[in-house]
Amino acid sequence: MAPQTPALRPPDESAVILARMLHLHPKIIDLSLERMGRLLQRMDSPHMRLPPTIHVAGTNGKGSTVAFMRAILESAGLRVHVYTSPHLQRFHERIRLAGQLISETELCARLLECERVNAGDPITFFEITTVAALLAFAETPADILLLEVGLGGRLDTTNVIPRAAVTVITPVDLDHQQFLGETLAEIAAEKAGILKPGTPAIIGPQKPDAAQVIEARAATLGAPLLIHGQDWTTYSEHGRLVFQYADGLLDLPLPALVGQHQLSNAGTAIAAVLALPDFEIGSDAIARGLRTVEWPGRLQRLGFGPLLAALPEGAELWLDGGHNPAAAVAMASALAELEERHPLPLYLICGMLTSKDAPGFFAAFNGLVRGVYTIAIPGEENSMTADALAQAASTAALPVRSAADLAQALNEISTDSPMPPRVAICGSLYLAGHVLSANGS
């Protein structure tokens, strides 16, 4: 059975405004704080009127760590603002005000105000929309703001905030080299740009080159560090998550998010909320947060919908938006764990952007998958073609075919698999958003 295309919804007014904002600057990405500073000053500096803020940078795990922190803090009864990117289906996902996604009315009002005050001056899409988010955060009461870096850290639009309650750096790896530098040390230096003098910084698992750069920057600034493996750690034991730190041990439930890498993301989140000054976060709230956390598009099992219905009964359908080699390693490890518990033939359906290291991504799955089907990401002009992506997969010695679209890939897997398969759709958050929409999620 071929998956059905959901009915199209009429475009929001905000979508029209956002489309105009794409044309305010000739580049999608132009790392600088100058344009942000100019517009923020014209708008009475909303970045100076924010709730206590946890600022989060890193290559992998930022979104999951933010999701854990939000679940924990909300379980403690706090009102939490959240800023993340990119979105999967609607722009509104990027801005959460005191526990609720920003409304269409509120989003339009903030965007139009920024557009009016900016008066057509050059500014990138991410810059002007970040100003709109900061304005909404400043004018809506909340107890805390979780602020995720968009790209890098030092020159990221979110780094206009003069102070933070806590900073966080999740694992740093190679990605976006065209903007952040070719080496791990150069990229780590950009991420470490969010560190603030005297502000505690939670440092997730790092490779030695990255750790050295981050620690040197923190020493220069006088930023106290709480480092994974030194000041805190997490591990699973007897079906529980153990968080070990200077004050002892916390015996907690395993997180709802799948994969061993989520243990360290959960630990990073726990360390961050415990480091918050003037907040007392109890173990009960932490436990509830771990059990209830949700983060779509990250090793998410799709338990219903037309895409799953297109596969044989008993099949599993998974979705992950990871798009660099380190994310692929984490995904492959989680899928290998699933294989040990419940063996099924594993197939990948993959779409990626032209800027990504496709051969490096596919290398993580060598010896694990029965087949790979490559597709172009629908509606994404920077997508690799299915044939080009198939060539990249072949360099990793994976059995691969290109497919015209998601429906054809699912149909061919259904035909080829000797038993109900485990299918993982992966390679891009843009593809993940398309999949959720196509599945009616």
CA dist., res. 203 & res. 208, Å (int): 12
The two tokens of residue 113 are 């105000």
Whether 375 and 349 have beta carbons less than 8 Å apart is answered as yes
pLDDT in tens, the chain (441 residues): 445 444 445 568 999 999 999 999 999 899 999 999 999 999 999 999 999 999 999 999 999 999 999 999 999 999 999 999 999 999 999 999 999 999 999 999 999 999 999 999 999 999 999 999 999 999 999 999 999 999 999 999 999 999 999 999 999 998 888 889 999 999 999 999 999 999 999 999 999 999 999 999 999 999 999 999 999 999 999 999 999 999 999 999 999 999 899 999 999 999 999 999 999 999 999 999 999 999 999 999 999 999 999 999 999 999 999 999 999 999 999 999 999 999 999 999 999 999 999 999 999 999 999 999 999 999 999 999 999 999 999 999 999 999 999 999 999 999 999 999 999 999 999 999 999 999 987
Radius of gyration (C-alpha) of the chain in whole angstroms: 22
Angle between helices 261-275 and 62-75 (to 10 degrees): 50
| Residue 370 vs residues 46, 205, 333, 414: alpha-carbon distances, Å | 52, 31, 16, 13
How many other CB atoms sit within 10 Å of the CB of residue 109? 16
Give the residue carrying structure tokens 């065209």.
178
Q: Exposure of 159 by Cβ count < 10 A (0-12 exposed, 13-18 middle, 19+ buried)?
A: buried
CA dist., res. 102 & res. 232, Å (int): 35
Q: Enter the pTM of the model.
A: 0.92
CA dist., res. 124 & res. 31, Å (int): 9
| Residue 354 vs residues 10, 318, 382, 428: alpha-carbon distances, Å | 30, 23, 6, 11
CA dist., res. 416 & res. 423, Å (int): 12
Buried/exposed code over 42-73 (b: 16+ C-beta within 10 A; e: otherwise): ebeebbeebbbbbbbbbbbbbbbbbbbbbbbb
Q: How many helices (H) and strands (E) in the chain?
A: 16, 17
Whether 102 and 14 have beta carbons less than 8 Å apart is answered as no
The 3-class secondary structure across 191-234, one letter per residue, is HHHHCCCCCCEEECCCCHHHHHHHHHHHHHHCCCEEEECCCEEE
Domains, the chain, ordered by start: 13-292 (3.40.1190.10), 300-438 (3.90.190.20)
